[in-house]
A and B are shown apart, each in its own frame.
Chain A
C-alpha cells in the first residue's frame, strides 16, 4: 500500500469511499508521521485518542453509507479555533491550559461533515506574526530547506503550523486564519495552496479574535481542489456571527477544471516593487503567461492606494487587537499572576502572559485609539481602507474578474533572520496580502515555482467578493502548469 499521508485529500476521500483503506488506517498513518516530525514543531497538541475515536465513527458511517463530504479525512486545526474540552491557547501563555466548553462554528461544520481531528497546530501568538516565531510553544520549522543547506527556515505565519503540517504530510488539510496574509504567505513559503475567503464567508464564532474586521478563516491543502473541498464545509452563514453573510455556499469543487477562457485578469502595476527579486518578477510573468495560454485576457490595472495599505493595516489591526485582547485579564480564565491589588494583578498577568510582539501591537493599538491621536491615526487609516476598497471596486467595475500578484516578496527566510530590532522588516512580508484583508476580498495563494535556492514561491489571485469559484478555476490552471512541490524529507 502507498503511503497514505502522501495522498491528496480528494484521493483519500475517494479511497475511503471505495473502502480501499479505512479512516482508522489513514489516521494512524498521520499520527505516526506526526510523531516522526516533532522536530518541525507543527503541532502544539496531538489528540490521538480523539482522532482514532472520530476515525472509527467515520468508518462506521462510511460502512452504513452515511459518510459526509469529509468522512474520515484527517485534519489539523490551528490553535486559534476553540475546540470543546481540548486545550486552546492561541499559542499564548496567557490562556494557560484553557479548555473551552464550546466548539468553533467552523470546526463544528468540519466534524459535522465527518472530518477527523489529529491535533492543534502551532501559530504565532494570537496570530500576530509572519514567521511563526512568536508562539509561546516556540518556532515552527519549514519542511523546505535551501539547496545544499540545513539551515532551519520559517514556514511563514501566522498559520505556520498549519502550512508546515500540510506540506510535510502531517495531515491532509488544515484550518488557518488570515488577518493580513496569515494563510496565503505561509502557503507560499511551504509550496502548498491556501485561500482566504471573502470576509463574512466563514463564521468567526469560536475563533480567538485578533482583528475582528480583518480576521477570516480558510483552508490549507496540497492542491487547489482540496482547498475547494474544505472551504465548502467551513463556509456558511452563522446567526452567532452577525458579520457572517447569509448566502448559499456553492459546490466549490465544481469550479475545478472549469474553463477560464475570456476571463479578464488584472495585473496591478503598483505591485511591481522597487528592489523586488527578479525571480519573483519572472514568476509573476510566468503565471500571467499560463493564464493567457488557458484563454484568459490580461489587462494592466491600477490600485493607486496600495502603498498606504501596509501602514494603514498596522493601525487598524493593532487598534482592534488592543481591545480584543483586553479580556485576557486574569480574572475569569487562563493564567493569573497575583498582585497586591487588582491593577497589579492585571499588570503582572499581562506582563508575563503576553509575548513581546503581542505587547508591541497592544501598545500601538492603544496609542492610535487614544484621545488626540484617534483622528490622525485610526480615522485616517479607516479612510485609507475605504480608498483601497474602492480601488478594487473600480478595477472590478472595468470588467476584471480577478487580479494576479506575487504572494510574497521573497521565499522563506531563516529562523531568527528577521527578528531583529526593526519589526517593519517582518511586516513587509505582508505587502501583497494585507490589501486583500483591508478590502474584505477573497485571495488564494498557489505554488508556482522555485527560487534560485530551490525554495517554493507562490502567486496570489484576488477575486471579486464571494467569487471564490473563479479563484479555484484560475488557481488550478496555475497548478496544472506549475506542478506540485514536495519537500525532501529530512525530519525523520
Chain B
C-alpha cells in the first residue's frame, strides 16, 4: 500500500493513479489584548485561571459583548485574503458539553460568517504557483484547557484560553498534494503576520489546522473525506496528509470504501487514527446566539481598514522585482517573513543609491547576513549587524571604495566587533586602490620579474589571470580588480 509518489500531484497505486483532494480549516488566534466577548487578557502563559472574567467562566446571568478590535482583525484578514467582507454577519451557538467549555456552547459563526470567498496565491518550490480558494472566515471563541496530569483521579481545567478570539479560515478543496498544503499554510501564516492579525506561533497553538483529505482517480468526483483534527505544525500537516492519502488508497484498492470520520494525527508514530465516526458526530444544535445582535458595520468601516492595510507579501515581491530587478527567488526569500522584508526595507531606506545598489543589498541580506544568522542559529531580531551597518557596507562596495572581497572581511569585523563600517575602512586602511599610478608600479614590477609567465600569457591570454592574482596579493587585496585587469592587458599587449 505504500505506493511511490509519481509526481507532486499524483500517487501511483496498484491499479491506478490517484489524486489527493485537500481542504484546510486553519484556526488562527486573533492578535488582540482582550478576548472575543470579554475584557480578560489574552496573554499566553501565567498561572492557570488568572485571565478569566465572569463571562469566560460562564457565571449565571453573564453576557458576551463583542470586542471591536477582534472584528477589525477579522476584516483586515479578509481584505488580505482578497475576500468578500460581509457587512452583516451572525454569531451562533454551537452546543456541546465539555469541561473546558464553560458555557456549554461555543459562540461561533455558522450560516453568516464575517468574511466570504477569497483566494491565496501560493508559490511552490518548483517554481509553479497555484491559487487556493478561500471559502469563508469566521470568528469564534477558543475553549479552555483540561489538565489531566495534576491529580491521580481528577482532571483540572484552565480557562485562561477560554473565550480567546479565533479566526477559522476555511479553504476550498483546491489543494492536490502535501507540498501544496504546506506551502498554503506557510503563505497564509505569512499573510497573517504581515497583517498583524495573528502571530502565527504554532508552538503556542496560535495557528493550527484541521485537514480534510480524500482521494480520487483523476477526473472522477470527490471521494469521501476524513478530517484530521488539530494538527499543529507545518511538517506534521505534510506527514498527516501523506499517511492519510496512502491509507485511503490502500483501502480503496483493496475494494473497500472510506468511512467519513474524524481522525487524530499521532506525530510520534506518524499515523492518523480514528477519533469518532460520522454516526458518533456531535449534533451541535447551532442557532443564532440570542445574547448578541447581528454584527453589522458600514462599508466605510471596511474602507478605512483597507486604506490602513500594510503592503502584503505578493505586492512587496512584485515591487522588489520591478524596482530593484531582484530574481523572483530572491524576492520570495525576502518577503517570506515579514521581519526579513522589514530588514531589507530598512537597508534600502538608508542606502545612498537604491537604484544602483538595491539588488546588491538583497544579495548581501540573503547570502551574507541570513547565511551567517542561520549558521549561528540566530533570529534576525538578534542580528549583530544592523540594517544601517549593512547599508554602509553595501554603499562602500557600490561606490567602489572597497571590493566585494574586502567587504566580506569588513562584514566579519562588524559582526564581531561592531562599529561604523566607513570609519573602520579608513582606520584599517581597507580602501580599494584605484590610483592607476600605484597599481601600474606593482604591475610593472611583477611583469619585469616574470618574463616566462609573460611569454606564456601572450601565447595563451587566459593565463593573464595569474598576473591579476599576483597584483591583488601584492596590493593586499585593495587594488581595484577592474583597473588591474585593464592594466595587465595593456602591459602584456593582449
Binding site for B on A (CB under 8 A): 81-82, 88, 90, 95, 98, 100-102, 104, 204-209, 211-213, 239-243, 319-320, 322-323, 325-327, 329, 331-333, 342-343, 346, 366, 369-371, 374, 378
Contacts and interface: CB of A to CB of B under 8 A. Distances in A.
A240 B290 contact: no
Given A242-B64, A325-B104, A346-B97, 16 more contacts: A82-B61, A88-B60, A209-B60, A320-B287, A322-B285, A323-B104, A326-B104, A327-B60, A329-B97, A329-B99, A331-B157, A332-B157, A369-B95, A369-B285, A371-B285, A374-B287
Interface in B263-303: 283, 285-287, 290-293
A102 to B, nearest CB: 6
A5 B5 CA distance: 89
B59 A100 contact: yes
B57 A332 contact: yes
A215 B99 CA distance: 27
Given A95-B60, A242-B293, A332-B57, A327 B103 contact: yes
4 closest A-B pairs by CB: A326-B104, A213-B290, A369-B285, A212-B290
Nearest to B66: A242
Contacts of A243: 63, 290-293
Interface residues of B, number: 29
A100 B60 contact: yes
Interface string B423-456: 0000000000000000000000000000000000
Nearest to A205: B63
Given A326-B95, A346-B97, A378-B287, A90 B60 contact: yes
Nearest to A343: B97
Contacts of A329: 97, 99, 104
Given A243-B291, A332-B57, A366 B285 contact: yes
Contacts of A332: 57-58, 102, 157
A486 B157 CA distance: 54
> Chain A interface mostly helix, strand, loop or mixed?
loop
B60 A82 contact: yes
Interface in B83-139: 93, 95, 97, 99, 102-105
A241 B292 CA distance: 9
B295 to A, nearest CB: 10
A340 to B, nearest CB: 10
Contact of A323 (B57, B105, B292): B105
Contacts of B494: none
B61 A209 contact: yes
B251 interface: no
Interface string B152-191: 0001010000000000000000000000000000000000
Contacts of B61: 81-82, 100, 104, 204-209
Given A323-B285, A332-B102, A342 B60 contact: no
A243 to B, nearest CB: 6
Contacts of B57: 332
A258 B13 CA distance: 87
B54 interface: yes
16 contacts: A98-B60, A100-B59, A100-B60, A102-B54, A204-B63, A240-B65, A242-B291, A242-B292, A320-B290, A323-B285, A326-B97, A331-B102, A346-B97, A369-B95, A369-B285, A371-B285
Given A242-B292, A242-B293, A333 B59 contact: yes
A120 B230 CA distance: 47
A241 B37 CA distance: 11
A378 B290 CA distance: 13
Contacts of B93: 323
A329 to B, nearest CB: 6
Contacts of B293: 242-243
A342 B99 contact: yes
A203 to B, nearest CB: 9
A176 to B, nearest CB: 15
A461 to B, nearest CB: 26
- Most chain A beta-carbon contacts within 10 A, residue among B57, B59, B64, B285: B285
A207 B59 CA distance: 10
Given A327-B102, A331-B157, A241 B285 contact: no
A370 B285 contact: yes
Nearest to B146: A342
B95 A323 contact: yes
B158 to A, nearest CB: 12
Given A323-B95, A331-B157, A342-B155, A239 B65 contact: yes
Contacts of B1: none
A395 B266 CA distance: 64
A205 B62 contact: yes
Nearest to B64: A242
B58 to A, nearest CB: 4
A340 B99 CA distance: 15
Interface string B359-388: 000000000000000000000000000000
A95 B59 CA distance: 11
A382 to B, nearest CB: 9
A446 B222 CA distance: 65
A213 B286 CA distance: 16
Contact of A327 (B58, B66, B287, B290): B58
Contacts of A90: 60
B278 to A, nearest CB: 12
A53 B286 CA distance: 47
A84 to B, nearest CB: 12
Contacts of B292: 242-243
A242 B63 CA distance: 8
Contacts of A88: 60
Contacts of B155: 342
B287 A102 contact: no
A115 to B, nearest CB: 19
Contacts of B283: 370-371
B110 to A, nearest CB: 11
Nearest to A372: B283
A45 B54 CA distance: 24
A369 B282 CA distance: 13
Nearest to B293: A242
Nearest to B285: A369
A198 B221 CA distance: 54
A105 to B, nearest CB: 9
A371 B95 CA distance: 12
B482 to A, nearest CB: 72
Contacts of A240: 63, 65
- Most chain A beta-carbon contacts within 10 A, residue among B59, B64, B292, B293: B59
Interface in B204-253: none
Nearest to B94: A323
B106 to A, nearest CB: 11
A323 B287 contact: yes
A241 B97 contact: no
A144 B99 CA distance: 47
Contacts of A370: 283, 285
A253 to B, nearest CB: 28
Contacts of A81: 61
Interface string B394-438: 000000000000000000000000000000000000000000000
A208 B63 CA distance: 10
A212 B283 CA distance: 22
B486 to A, nearest CB: 78
A322 B283 CA distance: 14
B63 to A, nearest CB: 5
A81 B54 CA distance: 15
A374 B286 CA distance: 9
Contacts of B290: 211-213, 243, 320
Contacts of B287: 319-320, 323, 369, 374, 378
Nearest to A379: B287
Contact of A326 (B54, B66, B103): B103
Contacts of A331: 99, 102, 157
A12 to B, nearest CB: 29
A386 B66 CA distance: 25
Contacts of A205: 61-63
